[in-house]
Amino acid sequence: MSYRNGQRLPLEGGGALRLSVNPRARRLSIRIDARAGEAVAVAPSERRLG
């Protein structure tokens, strides 16, 4: 399965995980966006998402 920038994946607890690409990132990281109420996975490239 390939993942794309901006894709949202449902989580079991009812939340969502948004995939994001930031070329300045050095590694895959996961943060919580309190304003949007979702988790965000940030990767340096789309290749690192999948």
Which residues lie closer than 8 Å to 12 by C-beta, 6 or more apart?
none
Whole-model pTM? 0.80
Confidence check: pLDDT of 43 > 80 = yes
What is the separation, in whole angstroms, between the first and last Cα of the chain?
A: 7
- Domain residue spans in the chain? 8-49
28-46 mean pLDDT: 93
pLDDT category at 48 given cuts 50, 70, 90 is: confident
Query: Can you tell me whether residue 47 is helix, strand or coil?
Result: helix
pLDDT of residue 33: 92
